Amino acid sequence: MDAMEAILTRRSIRKYTNKTVPEAVVKELLEAAMSAPSAGNQQPWQFIVINDRKTLDEIPKFHPFSQPLREASVAIVICGDLQRENFKGFWVQDCSAATENILVAARARGLGTVWLGVYPMDDRVKGMRKLLGAPETIVPLSIIPVGYPAEEKTRANRYDTSRVHYNRWS
């Protein structure tokens, strides 16, 4: 699947089969994440791969929208590392770009994903830090359940000409 097809057909998938995502594929997704642009090339990200069923099942206890983790064979937590932050505040954009790269790369490999937001919800950030033993300098931004889709969604046409402006607001 080419890049445009992966981008235009990427959808939030919340139901997965019980087929395990191979470790080599997870590594490819992480390579895609680490290829994201970042301010000043600071790359302020860290990634926590969760493939332990007990850990995945703990997250919905403090994250109200994370039920898809109960079916996914693996999840990737994208975190900002404040100790690697050279340009204050840009870690959010950088880690968001890494998150999107994972979503698109997974789609291109025939996998389903959904972006589950953690930051800036303080209770979710604290819950993730505690569960995963992360220090205060690590800020979980998002969690991505990854699996083979057990549901199919059609392409959504979201292009809206009324949101496009040339040269100035009009």
62 within some domain: yes
Residue span of the structural domain in which 74 resides: 13-149
Angle at CA of residue 125, ends 30 and 66, nearest 5°: 70
Joined together, the tokens standing for residue 161 give: 């000409």
Number of H helices, E strands in the chain: 5, 5
For the stretch 13-27, pLDDT in tens is: 999 999 999 999 999
Q: Is the pLDDT of residue 147 over 90?
A: yes
68 within some domain: yes
Joined together, the tokens standing for residue 120 give: 């800036």
For the stretch 58-101, pLDDT in tens is: 999 999 999 999 999 999 999 999 999 999 999 999 999 999 99
Which domain CATH number covers 75? 3.40.109.10
Output the pLDDT for position 170: 79
Output the pLDDT for position 28: 98
Nearest to 152 by CA among 9, 46, 36, 1: 9
How many domains does the chain contain in total? 1
2 within some domain: no
Neighbours of 63 (CB within 10 A): 21
129 within some domain: yes
159 within some domain: no
**Can you tell me the distance from the alpha carbon of 93 to that of 79, in angstroms, rounded to the nearest whole number?**
12
